[in-house]
Amino acid sequence: MRAFLFPGQGSQSVGMGKALADASAVAREVFGEVDEALGQHLFRLMIEGPEDDLKLTENAQPAIMANALAVFLVLTQDGGVDLEKAVQFVAGHSLGEYSALAAAGTFDLATTARLLKLRGQAMQRAVPVGEGAMAALLGADLDLAQRIAATAAEGEVCEVANDNDPSQVVISGHKGAIDRAIALAKDMGAKRALALPVSAPFHCSLMQPAADAMAEALCMVDLATPAVSLYANVTAAATADPDTIRDQLVQQVTGMVRWRESIANMTAEGVSEFVELGGKVLGPMVKRISPEAKVVSVVTIEDIEAIAKELA
Protein backbone atom coordinates (compact mmCIF):
# COMPACT_ATOMS: atom_id res chain seq x y z
CA MET A 1 0.00 0.00 0.00
CA ARG A 2 1.06 3.56 -0.72
CA ALA A 3 0.26 7.12 0.38
CA PHE A 4 0.93 10.52 -1.20
CA LEU A 5 2.16 13.18 1.23
CA PHE A 6 2.13 16.96 0.81
CA PRO A 7 4.51 19.33 2.68
CA GLY A 8 3.64 22.26 4.93
CA GLN A 9 5.00 25.68 5.74
CA GLY A 10 8.78 26.00 5.85
CA SER A 11 9.27 24.04 2.62
CA GLN A 12 9.14 27.19 0.47
CA SER A 13 12.26 28.56 -1.24
CA VAL A 14 12.94 31.20 -3.87
CA GLY A 15 13.10 29.50 -7.28
CA MET A 16 10.52 26.85 -6.41
CA GLY A 17 8.58 25.62 -9.41
CA LYS A 18 10.68 27.36 -12.06
CA ALA A 19 12.42 24.30 -13.49
CA LEU A 20 9.17 22.35 -13.48
CA ALA A 21 7.32 25.16 -15.28
CA ASP A 22 10.12 25.33 -17.85
CA ALA A 23 9.70 21.60 -18.47
CA SER A 24 5.90 21.20 -18.42
CA ALA A 25 2.93 23.10 -19.84
CA VAL A 26 0.76 21.45 -17.18
CA ALA A 27 2.87 23.04 -14.43
CA ARG A 28 2.70 26.43 -16.15
CA GLU A 29 -1.08 26.14 -16.25
CA VAL A 30 -1.20 25.39 -12.51
CA PHE A 31 0.86 28.44 -11.61
CA GLY A 32 -1.15 30.62 -13.99
CA GLU A 33 -4.45 29.45 -12.54
CA VAL A 34 -3.30 30.14 -8.98
CA ASP A 35 -2.14 33.64 -9.99
CA GLU A 36 -5.51 34.32 -11.58
CA ALA A 37 -7.44 33.01 -8.58
CA LEU A 38 -5.50 35.22 -6.18
CA GLY A 39 -5.19 38.26 -8.41
CA GLN A 40 -1.45 38.48 -7.76
CA HIS A 41 1.82 37.48 -9.39
CA LEU A 42 2.52 34.72 -6.89
CA PHE A 43 4.53 32.61 -9.31
CA ARG A 44 6.83 35.52 -10.05
CA LEU A 45 7.36 35.91 -6.30
CA MET A 46 8.08 32.18 -6.06
CA ILE A 47 10.80 32.26 -8.70
CA GLU A 48 12.29 35.72 -8.09
CA GLY A 49 11.62 36.52 -4.41
CA PRO A 50 12.34 38.47 -2.34
CA GLU A 51 12.55 35.67 0.20
CA ASP A 52 11.06 37.81 2.99
CA ASP A 53 7.89 38.31 0.94
CA LEU A 54 7.68 34.63 0.01
CA LYS A 55 8.00 33.67 3.69
CA LEU A 56 4.95 35.73 4.60
CA THR A 57 2.32 33.25 5.69
CA GLU A 58 -0.30 34.52 3.24
CA ASN A 59 2.13 33.94 0.35
CA ALA A 60 3.97 30.85 1.56
CA GLN A 61 0.82 28.78 2.05
CA PRO A 62 -0.65 29.08 -1.47
CA ALA A 63 2.86 28.94 -2.98
CA ILE A 64 3.69 25.62 -1.33
CA MET A 65 0.32 24.24 -2.40
CA ALA A 66 0.78 25.45 -6.00
CA ASN A 67 4.19 23.81 -6.22
CA ALA A 68 2.94 20.51 -4.78
CA LEU A 69 -0.13 20.47 -7.04
CA ALA A 70 2.02 21.25 -10.07
CA VAL A 71 4.12 18.18 -9.28
CA PHE A 72 0.99 16.09 -8.71
CA LEU A 73 -0.74 17.18 -11.91
CA VAL A 74 2.37 16.70 -14.05
CA LEU A 75 2.59 13.21 -12.56
CA THR A 76 -1.05 12.38 -13.24
CA GLN A 77 -1.61 14.22 -16.53
CA ASP A 78 1.77 13.96 -18.25
CA GLY A 79 2.89 10.84 -16.40
CA GLY A 80 -0.39 8.97 -16.76
CA VAL A 81 -0.62 8.01 -13.08
CA ASP A 82 -4.14 7.27 -11.78
CA LEU A 83 -4.45 8.48 -8.17
CA GLU A 84 -7.01 5.86 -7.17
CA LYS A 85 -4.89 3.02 -8.52
CA ALA A 86 -1.59 4.40 -7.23
CA VAL A 87 -2.42 5.16 -3.59
CA GLN A 88 -4.78 4.23 -0.80
CA PHE A 89 -4.43 7.46 1.23
CA VAL A 90 -3.37 11.10 1.00
CA ALA A 91 -2.11 13.25 3.86
CA GLY A 92 -0.56 16.67 4.29
CA HIS A 93 1.30 18.47 7.05
CA SER A 94 -0.77 21.46 8.22
CA LEU A 95 -1.48 23.52 5.07
CA GLY A 96 -0.41 20.42 3.12
CA GLU A 97 -3.77 18.93 4.07
CA TYR A 98 -5.36 21.38 1.62
CA SER A 99 -2.93 20.25 -1.09
CA ALA A 100 -3.83 16.63 -0.36
CA LEU A 101 -7.54 17.41 -0.62
CA ALA A 102 -7.06 19.31 -3.87
CA ALA A 103 -5.14 16.33 -5.30
CA ALA A 104 -7.99 14.03 -4.23
CA GLY A 105 -10.61 16.28 -5.84
CA THR A 106 -12.28 17.72 -2.73
CA PHE A 107 -11.42 21.28 -3.77
CA ASP A 108 -10.58 22.67 -7.18
CA LEU A 109 -7.25 24.45 -7.58
CA ALA A 110 -8.60 28.02 -7.53
CA THR A 111 -10.69 27.38 -4.42
CA THR A 112 -7.72 25.81 -2.64
CA ALA A 113 -5.54 28.82 -3.44
CA ARG A 114 -8.12 31.30 -2.16
CA LEU A 115 -8.73 29.30 1.03
CA LEU A 116 -5.01 29.15 1.79
CA LYS A 117 -4.55 32.87 1.10
CA LEU A 118 -7.34 33.57 3.57
CA ARG A 119 -5.96 31.03 6.05
CA GLY A 120 -2.55 32.70 5.95
CA GLN A 121 -4.01 36.18 6.40
CA ALA A 122 -6.28 35.05 9.24
CA MET A 123 -3.43 33.31 11.06
CA GLN A 124 -1.26 36.41 10.78
CA ARG A 125 -4.02 38.68 12.10
CA ALA A 126 -4.93 36.40 15.01
CA VAL A 127 -1.93 37.38 17.15
CA PRO A 128 -0.02 40.67 16.94
CA VAL A 129 3.55 40.25 15.68
CA GLY A 130 5.92 39.72 18.60
CA GLU A 131 3.32 38.37 21.03
CA GLY A 132 3.52 34.75 19.92
CA ALA A 133 6.32 32.29 19.18
CA MET A 134 7.10 28.68 18.38
CA ALA A 135 10.01 26.39 19.26
CA ALA A 136 11.21 22.97 18.21
CA LEU A 137 12.10 20.55 20.99
CA LEU A 138 14.71 18.11 19.68
CA GLY A 139 15.30 14.80 21.38
CA ALA A 140 11.88 15.10 23.04
CA ASP A 141 8.85 12.88 22.59
CA LEU A 142 5.24 14.02 22.97
CA ASP A 143 5.01 13.25 26.68
CA LEU A 144 8.15 15.21 27.54
CA ALA A 145 7.10 18.12 25.30
CA GLN A 146 3.73 18.32 27.02
CA ARG A 147 5.42 18.40 30.44
CA ILE A 148 7.82 21.14 29.32
CA ALA A 149 4.94 23.18 27.89
CA ALA A 150 2.86 22.80 31.05
CA THR A 151 5.78 23.83 33.27
CA ALA A 152 6.61 26.87 31.14
CA ALA A 153 3.05 28.15 30.72
CA GLU A 154 2.68 30.00 34.04
CA GLY A 155 -0.80 31.16 33.11
CA GLU A 156 0.04 31.86 29.46
CA VAL A 157 -0.61 29.66 26.42
CA CYS A 158 2.12 27.08 25.79
CA GLU A 159 0.91 24.04 23.86
CA VAL A 160 2.18 21.27 21.61
CA ALA A 161 1.60 22.33 17.99
CA ASN A 162 3.23 19.56 15.94
CA ASP A 163 4.03 16.02 17.04
CA ASN A 164 6.31 15.51 14.04
CA ASP A 165 8.27 12.36 14.85
CA PRO A 166 9.67 10.52 17.89
CA SER A 167 12.50 13.02 18.28
CA GLN A 168 10.94 16.35 17.22
CA VAL A 169 7.97 18.11 18.76
CA VAL A 170 7.05 21.76 18.18
CA ILE A 171 5.43 23.97 20.82
CA SER A 172 3.49 27.18 20.29
CA GLY A 173 2.02 30.00 22.36
CA HIS A 174 2.80 33.32 24.03
CA LYS A 175 6.38 34.45 23.47
CA GLY A 176 7.16 34.64 27.18
CA ALA A 177 6.02 31.07 27.73
CA ILE A 178 7.96 29.78 24.73
CA ASP A 179 11.09 31.59 25.93
CA ARG A 180 10.68 29.91 29.34
CA ALA A 181 10.23 26.53 27.67
CA ILE A 182 13.43 26.98 25.66
CA ALA A 183 15.32 27.91 28.84
CA LEU A 184 14.20 24.87 30.82
CA ALA A 185 13.91 22.25 28.07
CA LYS A 186 17.42 20.82 28.40
CA ASP A 187 17.20 20.51 32.18
CA MET A 188 13.91 18.63 31.77
CA GLY A 189 15.44 16.09 29.37
CA ALA A 190 15.26 17.50 25.84
CA LYS A 191 18.45 17.43 23.80
CA ARG A 192 17.93 20.93 22.43
CA ALA A 193 15.31 23.67 22.02
CA LEU A 194 15.29 26.04 19.05
CA ALA A 195 13.15 29.12 18.52
CA LEU A 196 11.54 28.93 15.06
CA PRO A 197 11.58 31.87 12.64
CA VAL A 198 7.82 32.17 12.31
CA SER A 199 5.57 35.21 12.34
CA ALA A 200 2.73 33.73 14.40
CA PRO A 201 2.09 30.92 16.94
CA PHE A 202 0.42 28.33 14.72
CA HIS A 203 -1.64 25.35 15.93
CA CYS A 204 -2.43 26.58 19.42
CA SER A 205 -5.47 28.12 21.09
CA LEU A 206 -4.27 31.67 20.28
CA MET A 207 -5.28 30.90 16.68
CA GLN A 208 -9.02 30.75 17.55
CA PRO A 209 -9.83 33.93 15.56
CA ALA A 210 -8.27 32.28 12.49
CA ALA A 211 -10.26 29.10 13.12
CA ASP A 212 -13.44 31.19 13.23
CA ALA A 213 -12.51 32.83 9.92
CA MET A 214 -11.89 29.45 8.29
CA ALA A 215 -15.17 28.07 9.64
CA GLU A 216 -17.00 30.94 7.96
CA ALA A 217 -15.09 30.52 4.68
CA LEU A 218 -15.45 26.74 4.53
CA CYS A 219 -19.21 27.02 5.08
CA MET A 220 -19.39 28.86 1.76
CA VAL A 221 -17.52 26.15 -0.16
CA ASP A 222 -18.78 22.85 -1.56
CA LEU A 223 -16.54 19.91 -0.65
CA ALA A 224 -16.58 16.87 -2.90
CA THR A 225 -15.89 13.39 -1.55
CA PRO A 226 -12.15 12.77 -2.02
CA ALA A 227 -11.17 10.08 -4.52
CA VAL A 228 -9.08 8.43 -1.78
CA SER A 229 -9.33 8.85 1.98
CA LEU A 230 -7.50 11.66 3.80
CA TYR A 231 -5.49 10.94 6.93
CA ALA A 232 -6.43 14.01 8.98
CA ASN A 233 -3.97 15.99 11.11
CA VAL A 234 -6.29 16.40 14.08
CA THR A 235 -7.39 12.76 14.40
CA ALA A 236 -4.53 10.77 12.82
CA ALA A 237 -7.30 8.72 11.21
CA ALA A 238 -8.73 8.30 7.72
CA THR A 239 -11.92 9.92 6.52
CA ALA A 240 -13.64 10.58 3.20
CA ASP A 241 -16.75 12.34 4.52
CA PRO A 242 -16.92 15.96 3.28
CA ASP A 243 -18.69 17.34 6.37
CA THR A 244 -16.18 15.66 8.66
CA ILE A 245 -13.31 17.03 6.59
CA ARG A 246 -14.79 20.54 6.77
CA ASP A 247 -14.97 20.36 10.58
CA GLN A 248 -11.46 18.93 10.84
CA LEU A 249 -9.97 21.72 8.71
CA VAL A 250 -11.40 24.22 11.20
CA GLN A 251 -10.16 22.24 14.21
CA GLN A 252 -6.74 21.96 12.58
CA VAL A 253 -6.06 25.71 12.91
CA THR A 254 -5.87 25.49 16.71
CA GLY A 255 -5.25 21.75 17.04
CA MET A 256 -2.07 19.70 17.20
CA VAL A 257 -0.72 18.26 13.96
CA ARG A 258 -0.58 14.57 14.85
CA TRP A 259 1.92 13.66 12.14
CA ARG A 260 3.80 10.94 14.02
CA GLU A 261 0.57 9.12 14.81
CA SER A 262 -0.73 9.58 11.25
CA ILE A 263 2.32 7.89 9.72
CA ALA A 264 2.37 5.18 12.40
CA ASN A 265 -1.33 4.46 11.87
CA MET A 266 -0.97 4.31 8.09
CA THR A 267 1.96 1.94 8.54
CA ALA A 268 -0.16 -0.23 10.84
CA GLU A 269 -2.84 -0.32 8.13
CA GLY A 270 -0.31 -1.70 5.67
CA VAL A 271 1.14 1.38 3.96
CA SER A 272 4.77 0.58 3.17
CA GLU A 273 5.61 3.36 0.69
CA PHE A 274 5.24 7.12 1.19
CA VAL A 275 5.68 9.53 -1.73
CA GLU A 276 6.22 13.20 -0.84
CA LEU A 277 5.14 15.51 -3.65
CA GLY A 278 6.75 18.94 -3.93
CA GLY A 279 9.22 18.77 -1.07
CA LYS A 280 11.88 16.90 0.88
CA VAL A 281 10.77 17.81 4.39
CA LEU A 282 8.42 15.00 5.35
CA GLY A 283 10.51 12.07 4.14
CA PRO A 284 13.07 12.21 6.96
CA MET A 285 10.27 12.42 9.52
CA VAL A 286 8.60 9.35 8.00
CA LYS A 287 11.86 7.36 8.22
CA ARG A 288 12.20 8.22 11.90
CA ILE A 289 8.62 7.07 12.53
CA SER A 290 8.61 3.99 10.27
CA PRO A 291 12.23 3.04 9.53
CA GLU A 292 11.22 0.10 7.31
CA ALA A 293 9.03 2.23 5.02
CA LYS A 294 10.10 3.17 1.52
CA VAL A 295 10.19 6.96 1.16
CA VAL A 296 10.37 8.83 -2.15
CA SER A 297 10.59 12.62 -2.59
CA VAL A 298 9.30 13.93 -5.92
CA VAL A 299 10.32 17.50 -6.82
CA THR A 300 11.93 17.68 -10.27
CA ILE A 301 10.72 16.59 -13.69
CA GLU A 302 13.28 13.77 -13.50
CA ASP A 303 11.77 12.65 -10.17
CA ILE A 304 8.31 12.69 -11.73
CA GLU A 305 9.39 10.68 -14.76
CA ALA A 306 11.07 8.08 -12.53
CA ILE A 307 8.09 7.57 -10.20
CA ALA A 308 5.64 7.63 -13.14
CA LYS A 309 7.36 4.58 -14.64
CA GLU A 310 6.86 2.77 -11.36
CA LEU A 311 3.23 3.82 -10.80
CA ALA A 312 1.68 4.06 -14.26
Q: How far apart are CA 28 and CA 190, in angstroms?
A: 45
- CA nearest 277: which of 84, 18, 8? 8
pLDDT for position 199? 81
Which residues 6+ apart lie within 8 Å of 146 measured at CB?
Answer: 160
Q: What's the confidence (pLDDT) of residue 312? A: 76
Q: Could you say which residues of the chain have pLDDT below 70? A: none
pLDDT at residue 11, rounded to an integer:
81
pLDDT for 10: 81
* Domain 2-126+206-311, classified CATH 3.30.930.10, yes or no: no
pTM of this structure: 0.96
203 annotated active-site = yes
Number of helices and strands in the chain (H, E) = 15, 10
Please pick, among 203, 229, 290, 297, the residue that the annotation labels catalytic. 203
Secondary-structure class of domain 132-198 per CATH: alpha beta
- Domain ranges in the chain are 2-126+206-311, 132-198
Specify whether 94 is catalytic: yes
Q: How far apart are the first and last CA of the chain?
A: 15
pLDDT for position 198: 85
Which residue of the set 11, 94, 229, 262 is catalytic? Answer: 94
Residue 62 contacts residue 117 (beta carbons within 8 Å): yes
- pLDDT, residue 123, reads 95
Query: Residue-wise over 130-165: b if at least 16 C-beta within 10 A, else e?
Result: eebbbbbbebbbbebbbebbeebbeeebbbbbbbbb
Task: Return the H-helix or E-strand segment holding 208.
Answer: helix 208-219
